[in-house]
Protein backbone atom coordinates (compact mmCIF):
# COMPACT_ATOMS: atom_id res chain seq x y z
CA UNK A 1 0.00 0.00 0.00
CA UNK A 2 2.76 2.48 0.85
CA UNK A 3 5.51 1.26 -1.49
CA UNK A 4 4.90 4.03 -4.03
CA UNK A 5 5.10 6.83 -1.48
CA UNK A 6 8.13 9.10 -1.22
CA UNK A 7 8.77 11.50 1.64
CA UNK A 8 7.41 15.00 1.17
CA UNK A 9 9.51 18.04 2.06
CA UNK A 10 8.83 19.51 5.48
CA UNK A 11 6.41 22.40 5.76
CA UNK A 12 8.67 25.48 5.47
CA UNK A 13 7.48 27.20 8.65
CA UNK A 14 7.32 24.02 10.70
CA UNK A 15 10.77 23.12 9.37
CA UNK A 16 12.07 26.45 10.68
CA UNK A 17 10.71 25.58 14.12
CA UNK A 18 12.53 22.22 14.06
CA UNK A 19 15.79 23.82 12.93
CA UNK A 20 15.49 26.46 15.65
CA UNK A 21 15.03 23.85 18.37
CA UNK A 22 18.09 21.95 17.16
CA UNK A 23 20.30 25.05 16.99
CA UNK A 24 22.77 25.22 19.89
CA UNK A 25 23.62 28.92 19.51
CA UNK A 26 22.77 30.57 22.86
CA UNK A 27 21.80 33.78 21.07
CA UNK A 28 19.33 32.14 18.68
CA UNK A 29 16.06 33.97 17.98
CA UNK A 30 12.80 32.50 16.68
CA UNK A 31 10.86 34.93 14.48
CA UNK A 32 9.17 32.15 12.50
CA UNK A 33 6.04 30.34 13.67
CA UNK A 34 3.22 32.73 14.49
CA UNK A 35 2.44 32.37 18.17
CA UNK A 36 2.26 35.19 20.68
CA UNK A 37 5.17 35.38 23.11
CA UNK A 38 5.89 37.32 26.27
CA UNK A 39 9.08 39.24 26.98
CA UNK A 40 10.47 35.97 28.38
CA UNK A 41 9.61 34.06 25.20
CA UNK A 42 6.70 32.10 26.70
CA UNK A 43 3.27 31.60 25.14
CA UNK A 44 1.07 31.97 28.23
CA UNK A 45 -2.37 30.74 29.17
CA UNK A 46 -4.43 33.87 29.71
CA UNK A 47 -5.67 34.36 33.28
CA UNK A 48 -9.25 34.79 32.06
CA UNK A 49 -8.95 31.54 30.12
CA UNK A 50 -7.56 29.71 33.16
CA UNK A 51 -10.53 30.84 35.22
CA UNK A 52 -12.95 29.72 32.50
CA UNK A 53 -11.21 26.37 32.26
CA UNK A 54 -11.54 25.88 36.01
CA UNK A 55 -15.25 26.59 35.83
CA UNK A 56 -15.51 24.01 33.04
CA UNK A 57 -13.55 21.41 35.02
CA UNK A 58 -15.71 21.96 38.08
CA UNK A 59 -18.99 21.79 36.20
CA UNK A 60 -18.44 19.19 33.49
CA UNK A 61 -20.24 15.95 34.33
CA UNK A 62 -19.86 13.90 31.15
CA UNK A 63 -17.48 13.05 28.34
CA UNK A 64 -20.26 12.28 25.89
CA UNK A 65 -20.28 14.04 22.52
CA UNK A 66 -21.42 17.63 22.39
CA UNK A 67 -23.96 18.60 19.73
CA UNK A 68 -22.71 18.39 16.14
CA UNK A 69 -22.89 22.18 15.74
CA UNK A 70 -20.72 22.70 18.80
CA UNK A 71 -21.07 24.49 22.09
CA UNK A 72 -24.06 26.85 21.85
CA UNK A 73 -22.64 29.49 24.21
CA UNK A 74 -19.48 29.51 22.10
CA UNK A 75 -21.41 29.91 18.85
CA UNK A 76 -23.60 32.71 20.24
CA UNK A 77 -20.70 34.53 21.85
CA UNK A 78 -18.44 34.37 18.82
CA UNK A 79 -21.16 35.52 16.43
CA UNK A 80 -21.70 38.59 18.61
CA UNK A 81 -17.96 39.18 18.91
CA UNK A 82 -17.40 39.14 15.15
CA UNK A 83 -20.65 40.66 13.88
CA UNK A 84 -21.46 42.94 16.82
CA UNK A 85 -24.08 42.23 19.47
CA UNK A 86 -26.63 44.60 17.91
CA UNK A 87 -26.11 43.50 14.31
CA UNK A 88 -29.51 42.95 12.64
CA UNK A 89 -28.08 39.96 10.83
CA UNK A 90 -28.21 38.04 14.13
CA UNK A 91 -32.01 38.26 14.23
CA UNK A 92 -32.51 37.73 10.51
CA UNK A 93 -32.25 33.90 10.58
CA UNK A 94 -29.74 34.22 7.73
CA UNK A 95 -26.70 33.44 9.92
CA UNK A 96 -25.62 29.93 10.90
CA UNK A 97 -22.39 28.80 12.60
CA UNK A 98 -20.67 25.50 13.23
CA UNK A 99 -17.78 24.91 15.64
CA UNK A 100 -14.72 23.45 13.92
CA UNK A 101 -11.20 22.30 14.81
CA UNK A 102 -9.40 25.64 14.64
CA UNK A 103 -9.34 28.25 11.93
CA UNK A 104 -7.89 25.69 9.53
CA UNK A 105 -10.81 23.33 10.10
CA UNK A 106 -13.21 26.23 9.63
CA UNK A 107 -11.62 27.17 6.32
CA UNK A 108 -11.72 23.59 5.10
CA UNK A 109 -15.44 23.33 5.90
CA UNK A 110 -16.01 26.55 3.98
CA UNK A 111 -14.12 25.43 0.90
CA UNK A 112 -15.92 22.09 0.91
CA UNK A 113 -19.26 23.93 1.12
CA UNK A 114 -18.25 26.10 -1.84
CA UNK A 115 -17.35 22.97 -3.79
CA UNK A 116 -20.82 21.55 -3.18
CA UNK A 117 -22.57 24.80 -3.99
CA UNK A 118 -20.61 25.49 -7.18
CA UNK A 119 -17.99 22.93 -8.29
CA UNK A 120 -16.76 25.42 -10.90
CA UNK A 121 -16.03 28.16 -8.36
CA UNK A 122 -12.63 29.80 -8.35
CA UNK A 123 -11.17 31.06 -5.06
CA UNK A 124 -9.12 34.24 -5.32
CA UNK A 125 -6.45 34.79 -2.68
CA UNK A 126 -4.29 37.81 -1.93
CA UNK A 127 -0.77 37.92 -3.29
CA UNK A 128 0.72 36.84 -0.97
CA UNK A 129 -1.48 34.96 1.47
CA UNK A 130 -1.09 32.42 4.27
CA UNK A 131 0.47 29.42 2.54
CA UNK A 132 -2.02 26.95 4.00
CA UNK A 133 -4.89 28.75 2.26
CA UNK A 134 -3.67 27.39 -1.06
CA UNK A 135 -3.23 23.87 0.29
CA UNK A 136 -6.75 23.85 1.74
CA UNK A 137 -8.30 25.12 -1.49
CA UNK A 138 -6.47 22.48 -3.51
CA UNK A 139 -7.43 19.70 -1.08
CA UNK A 140 -11.07 20.71 -1.46
CA UNK A 141 -10.85 20.27 -5.22
CA UNK A 142 -11.26 23.94 -6.04
CA UNK A 143 -9.28 26.13 -8.40
CA UNK A 144 -7.39 29.09 -6.97
CA UNK A 145 -5.99 32.29 -8.42
CA UNK A 146 -4.20 35.33 -7.02
CA UNK A 147 -5.36 38.95 -6.91
CA UNK A 148 -2.90 41.86 -6.51
CA UNK A 149 -2.41 42.83 -2.89
CA UNK A 150 1.05 43.77 -1.63
CA UNK A 151 3.76 45.75 -3.38
CA UNK A 152 6.94 44.21 -1.94
CA UNK A 153 9.20 46.77 -3.60
CA UNK A 154 7.46 49.71 -1.95
CA UNK A 155 5.97 47.97 1.10
CA UNK A 156 2.41 49.10 0.50
CA UNK A 157 -1.03 47.88 -0.55
CA UNK A 158 -1.85 47.56 -4.25
CA UNK A 159 -5.27 49.10 -3.65
CA UNK A 160 -6.10 50.21 -7.19
CA UNK A 161 -4.87 47.00 -8.77
CA UNK A 162 -6.86 44.93 -6.27
CA UNK A 163 -10.09 46.79 -7.02
CA UNK A 164 -9.47 46.48 -10.76
CA UNK A 165 -9.09 42.72 -10.35
CA UNK A 166 -12.31 42.47 -8.33
CA UNK A 167 -14.16 44.43 -11.03
CA UNK A 168 -13.48 41.57 -13.47
CA UNK A 169 -14.98 38.84 -11.27
CA UNK A 170 -18.41 37.25 -11.37
CA UNK A 171 -20.83 34.85 -9.71
CA UNK A 172 -18.49 31.87 -9.99
CA UNK A 173 -15.79 33.63 -7.99
CA UNK A 174 -15.00 33.62 -4.28
CA UNK A 175 -12.71 36.30 -2.84
CA UNK A 176 -10.78 35.27 0.27
CA UNK A 177 -10.14 38.36 2.39
CA UNK A 178 -8.15 38.71 5.60
CA UNK A 179 -10.44 40.44 8.10
CA UNK A 180 -7.52 42.14 9.86
CA UNK A 181 -3.80 41.69 10.62
CA UNK A 182 -2.98 40.29 7.19
CA UNK A 183 -0.79 37.20 7.25
CA UNK A 184 2.00 37.37 6.13
CA UNK A 185 2.41 41.09 5.39
CA UNK A 186 0.66 42.92 8.25
CA UNK A 187 -0.71 45.30 5.61
CA UNK A 188 -4.46 45.64 6.16
CA UNK A 189 -7.25 46.82 3.91
CA UNK A 190 -7.93 50.42 5.08
CA UNK A 191 -11.38 51.45 6.31
CA UNK A 192 -12.23 53.48 3.22
CA UNK A 193 -11.59 50.52 0.90
CA UNK A 194 -14.09 48.07 2.43
CA UNK A 195 -17.16 49.95 1.07
CA UNK A 196 -15.61 49.86 -2.41
CA UNK A 197 -15.09 46.11 -2.12
CA UNK A 198 -18.70 45.78 -0.96
CA UNK A 199 -19.90 47.80 -3.97
CA UNK A 200 -18.05 45.46 -6.33
CA UNK A 201 -19.28 42.32 -4.55
CA UNK A 202 -22.88 43.48 -4.94
CA UNK A 203 -22.39 44.62 -8.54
CA UNK A 204 -20.39 41.66 -9.81
CA UNK A 205 -21.89 38.95 -7.62
CA UNK A 206 -18.72 37.37 -6.25
CA UNK A 207 -18.85 35.78 -2.79
CA UNK A 208 -16.66 37.11 0.03
CA UNK A 209 -14.98 34.57 2.31
CA UNK A 210 -13.49 36.35 5.33
CA UNK A 211 -10.68 34.78 7.36
CA UNK A 212 -10.58 36.32 10.85
CA UNK A 213 -7.69 34.85 12.82
CA UNK A 214 -6.44 37.91 14.72
CA UNK A 215 -9.39 40.01 15.89
CA UNK A 216 -8.10 42.27 18.66
CA UNK A 217 -4.46 42.01 17.60
CA UNK A 218 -4.58 44.99 15.21
CA UNK A 219 -6.13 48.04 16.88
CA UNK A 220 -8.92 46.66 19.07
CA UNK A 221 -11.79 44.18 18.90
CA UNK A 222 -14.24 46.59 17.31
CA UNK A 223 -11.98 48.54 14.95
CA UNK A 224 -10.43 45.36 13.57
CA UNK A 225 -13.74 44.17 12.09
CA UNK A 226 -15.50 47.43 11.19
CA UNK A 227 -14.74 46.99 7.50
CA UNK A 228 -15.83 43.36 7.60
CA UNK A 229 -19.13 44.28 9.24
CA UNK A 230 -19.82 46.88 6.57
CA UNK A 231 -19.15 44.36 3.82
CA UNK A 232 -21.38 41.73 5.45
CA UNK A 233 -24.22 44.25 5.80
CA UNK A 234 -24.23 44.73 2.04
CA UNK A 235 -23.85 41.30 0.46
CA UNK A 236 -26.53 38.60 0.14
CA UNK A 237 -24.18 35.80 1.15
CA UNK A 238 -20.73 35.31 2.63
CA UNK A 239 -18.59 32.92 4.64
CA UNK A 240 -16.49 33.70 7.72
CA UNK A 241 -13.79 31.46 9.20
CA UNK A 242 -12.86 32.49 12.73
CA UNK A 243 -10.02 31.26 14.92
CA UNK A 244 -9.57 31.53 18.69
CA UNK A 245 -5.93 30.46 18.63
CA UNK A 246 -4.38 33.91 18.89
CA UNK A 247 -6.78 36.22 20.70
CA UNK A 248 -7.74 33.61 23.30
CA UNK A 249 -4.34 31.86 23.26
CA UNK A 250 -6.02 28.50 22.58
CA UNK A 251 -3.55 27.27 19.97
CA UNK A 252 -3.48 23.61 20.99
CA UNK A 253 -7.22 23.41 21.70
CA UNK A 254 -8.04 23.93 17.99
CA UNK A 255 -10.99 26.23 18.45
CA UNK A 256 -12.72 27.90 15.52
CA UNK A 257 -16.02 28.25 13.73
CA UNK A 258 -17.42 28.61 10.25
CA UNK A 259 -20.21 31.13 9.87
CA UNK A 260 -22.38 31.31 6.77
CA UNK A 261 -24.56 34.24 5.77
CA UNK A 262 -27.22 33.25 3.26
CA UNK A 263 -29.72 35.27 1.25
CA UNK A 264 -32.78 33.78 2.96
CA UNK A 265 -33.52 31.74 6.11
CA UNK A 266 -34.38 28.74 3.95
CA UNK A 267 -31.02 28.88 2.20
CA UNK A 268 -29.32 29.36 5.58
CA UNK A 269 -30.86 26.11 6.79
CA UNK A 270 -29.73 24.33 3.64
CA UNK A 271 -26.17 25.63 4.03
CA UNK A 272 -26.10 24.51 7.67
CA UNK A 273 -27.26 21.01 6.75
CA UNK A 274 -24.43 20.67 4.25
CA UNK A 275 -21.78 22.03 6.62
CA UNK A 276 -22.86 19.52 9.28
CA UNK A 277 -22.78 16.74 6.69
CA UNK A 278 -19.29 17.75 5.57
CA UNK A 279 -18.11 17.86 9.17
CA UNK A 280 -19.59 14.41 9.77
CA UNK A 281 -17.57 13.04 6.87
CA UNK A 282 -14.29 14.61 8.04
CA UNK A 283 -14.17 14.55 11.85
CA UNK A 284 -17.73 13.64 12.90
CA UNK A 285 -18.02 15.69 16.11
CA UNK A 286 -16.22 18.85 17.24
CA UNK A 287 -13.78 18.90 20.16
CA UNK A 288 -15.23 20.30 23.36
CA UNK A 289 -12.73 22.08 25.59
CA UNK A 290 -11.77 25.14 23.57
CA UNK A 291 -15.31 26.02 22.56
CA UNK A 292 -16.71 25.38 26.02
CA UNK A 293 -14.00 27.57 27.57
CA UNK A 294 -14.68 30.49 25.23
CA UNK A 295 -18.40 30.03 25.69
CA UNK A 296 -18.04 30.34 29.47
CA UNK A 297 -15.75 33.34 29.14
CA UNK A 298 -17.96 35.29 26.74
CA UNK A 299 -21.11 34.59 28.77
CA UNK A 300 -19.54 36.01 31.96
CA UNK A 301 -19.23 39.80 32.02
CA UNK A 302 -16.34 39.87 34.51
CA UNK A 303 -14.34 37.25 32.62
CA UNK A 304 -15.01 39.01 29.33
CA UNK A 305 -13.76 42.29 30.77
CA UNK A 306 -10.61 40.60 32.10
CA UNK A 307 -9.99 38.92 28.75
CA UNK A 308 -10.39 42.19 26.86
CA UNK A 309 -7.80 43.79 29.13
CA UNK A 310 -5.34 40.93 28.55
CA UNK A 311 -5.95 41.09 24.82
CA UNK A 312 -5.43 44.85 24.74
CA UNK A 313 -2.14 44.39 26.60
CA UNK A 314 -0.92 41.87 24.00
CA UNK A 315 -1.93 44.19 21.18
CA UNK A 316 -0.20 47.18 22.79
CA UNK A 317 2.97 45.16 23.37
CA UNK A 318 3.21 44.21 19.70
CA UNK A 319 2.61 47.81 18.68
CA UNK A 320 5.45 48.87 20.99
CA UNK A 321 7.74 46.19 19.58
CA UNK A 322 7.10 47.41 16.05
CA UNK A 323 8.18 50.92 16.98
CA UNK A 324 11.17 49.63 18.92
CA UNK A 325 12.44 47.55 16.00
CA UNK A 326 12.06 50.45 13.57
CA UNK A 327 13.94 52.80 15.89
CA UNK A 328 16.76 50.29 16.40
CA UNK A 329 17.16 49.68 12.66
CA UNK A 330 17.19 53.36 11.79
CA UNK A 331 19.71 54.03 14.57
CA UNK A 332 22.11 51.70 12.77
CA UNK A 333 22.14 53.85 9.65
CA UNK A 334 20.66 51.38 7.16
CA UNK A 335 19.79 52.87 3.80
CA UNK A 336 16.23 51.59 3.48
CA UNK A 337 13.33 52.89 5.53
CA UNK A 338 11.40 50.54 7.81
CA UNK A 339 8.68 53.05 8.74
CA UNK A 340 6.06 50.88 7.04
CA UNK A 341 6.35 48.42 9.94
CA UNK A 342 4.74 50.97 12.26
CA UNK A 343 1.80 51.42 9.89
CA UNK A 344 0.99 47.73 9.77
CA UNK A 345 -1.04 45.62 12.18
CA UNK A 346 -0.87 42.34 14.05
CA UNK A 347 1.84 39.76 14.49
CA UNK A 348 3.54 39.90 11.11
CA UNK A 349 5.53 42.04 8.71
CA UNK A 350 7.91 41.54 5.82
CA UNK A 351 11.38 42.93 6.51
CA UNK A 352 11.76 43.40 2.78
CA UNK A 353 15.07 41.56 2.43
CA UNK A 354 15.96 38.84 -0.05
CA UNK A 355 15.82 35.08 0.59
CA UNK A 356 19.60 35.05 0.38
CA UNK A 357 19.83 37.69 3.09
CA UNK A 358 17.32 35.75 5.21
CA UNK A 359 19.54 32.68 4.91
CA UNK A 360 22.64 34.68 5.76
CA UNK A 361 21.03 36.03 8.93
CA UNK A 362 20.10 32.49 9.89
CA UNK A 363 23.55 31.08 9.14
CA UNK A 364 25.56 33.87 10.77
CA UNK A 365 23.32 34.95 13.63
CA UNK A 366 20.91 32.03 14.26
CA UNK A 367 17.91 34.31 13.70
CA UNK A 368 15.11 32.28 12.15
CA UNK A 369 12.38 33.70 9.90
CA UNK A 370 10.44 32.64 6.81
CA UNK A 371 12.26 32.81 3.48
CA UNK A 372 9.92 35.61 2.40
CA UNK A 373 11.37 37.70 5.30
CA UNK A 374 8.10 37.45 7.20
CA UNK A 375 8.78 37.83 10.90
CA UNK A 376 6.65 37.30 13.98
CA UNK A 377 6.69 40.65 15.78
CA UNK A 378 5.89 38.91 19.07
CA UNK A 379 9.21 37.06 18.83
CA UNK A 380 11.02 40.35 19.44
CA UNK A 381 11.86 41.36 23.00
CA UNK A 382 13.81 44.07 24.78
CA UNK A 383 16.56 41.52 25.35
CA UNK A 384 17.01 40.52 21.68
CA UNK A 385 15.98 43.57 19.63
CA UNK A 386 19.50 45.02 19.50
CA UNK A 387 20.89 41.68 18.37
CA UNK A 388 18.24 41.46 15.64
CA UNK A 389 18.86 45.04 14.50
CA UNK A 390 22.64 44.46 14.45
CA UNK A 391 22.18 41.34 12.31
CA UNK A 392 19.81 42.95 9.81
CA UNK A 393 21.99 46.05 9.51
CA UNK A 394 25.14 44.00 9.03
CA UNK A 395 23.57 41.93 6.27
CA UNK A 396 22.10 44.95 4.50
CA UNK A 397 25.45 46.77 4.52
CA UNK A 398 27.32 43.89 2.88
- Model confidence pLDDT, tens digit, residues 133-159: 999 999 999 999 999 999 999 999 999
Among candidate residues 318, 385, 314, the one with its CA nearest the CA of residue 45 = 314
- 398 SS3 class: coil
- Cα–Cα distances (Å) from 224 to 100, 215, 369, in that order, read 22, 6, 26
Q: Is 307 a catalytic residue?
A: no
The DSSP secondary structure of 172-241, one letter per residue, reads TEEEEEESSS-TTT--PPPGGGHHHHHHHHHHH-PEEEEEES-TTSSS-TTGGGHHHHHHHHH-S-EEEE
CB 237 within 8 A of CB 66: no
- Cα–Cα distances (Å) from 253 to 258, 299, 371, in that order, read 16, 19, 28
pTM beyond 0.85: yes
From CA 291, how far away is CA 392, in angstroms rounded? 41
Q: Write down the catalytic residue from 194, 246, 300, 307.
A: 246
Q: Write down the catalytic residue from 130, 188, 224, 328.
A: 130
Which residues are bridge partners to 211 per DSSP? 178, 241
The DSSP secondary structure of 61-108, one letter per residue, reads ---S---TT--HHHHHHHHHHHH-TT-GGGGTT-EEEEEEEHHHHHHH
Give the number of other CB atoms < 10 A from CB of residue 288.
Answer: 21
Among candidate residues 300, 294, 138, 281, the one with its CA nearest the CA of residue 216 = 294
- Cα–Cα distances (Å) from 115 to 102, 104, 189, 284, 318, in that order, read 20, 17, 27, 19, 38
Q: Is 124 a catalytic residue?
A: no
Q: Give pLDDT, residue 17.
A: 86
CB 241 within 8 A of CB 256: yes
- Cα–Cα distances (Å) from 132 to 33, 137, 335, in that order, read 13, 9, 34
**Sign, Cα dihedral of 286, 287, 292, 294:** negative
The helix-helix angle for 226-234 and 72-83 (nearest 10°) equals: 100
pLDDT of the chain along its 398 residues, tens only?
Answer: 999 999 998 888 888 888 999 999 999 999 998 899 999 999 999 999 999 999 999 999 999 999 999 999 999 999 999 999 999 999 999 999 999 999 999 999 999 999 999 999 999 999 999 999 999 999 999 999 999 999 999 999 999 999 999 999 999 999 999 999 999 999 999 999 999 999 999 999 999 999 999 999 999 999 999 999 999 999 999 999 999 999 999 999 999 999 999 999 999 999 999 999 999 999 999 999 999 999 999 999 999 999 999 999 999 999 999 999 999 999 999 988 999 999 999 999 999 999 999 999 999 999 999 999 999 999 999 999 999 999 999 999 88
What H or E segment, with its residue span, contains residue 34? none
- 242 SS3 class: strand
What H or E segment, with its residue span, contains residue 306? helix 301-331
Average pLDDT score, the chain: 96
Q: Write down the catalytic residue from 188, 211, 224, 300.
A: 211
Amino acid sequence: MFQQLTALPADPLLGIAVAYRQDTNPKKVDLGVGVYKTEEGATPILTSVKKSLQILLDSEDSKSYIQARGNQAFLDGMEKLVLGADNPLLSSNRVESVQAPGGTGSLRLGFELIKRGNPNAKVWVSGPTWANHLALIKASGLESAEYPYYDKANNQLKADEMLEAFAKLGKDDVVLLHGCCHNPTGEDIPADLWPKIADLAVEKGFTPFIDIAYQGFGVDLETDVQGVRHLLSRVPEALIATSCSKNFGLYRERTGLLTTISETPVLAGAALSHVLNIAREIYSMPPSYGGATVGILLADEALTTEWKTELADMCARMRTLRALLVDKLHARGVDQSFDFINRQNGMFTFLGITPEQVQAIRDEYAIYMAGSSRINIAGISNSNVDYIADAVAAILKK
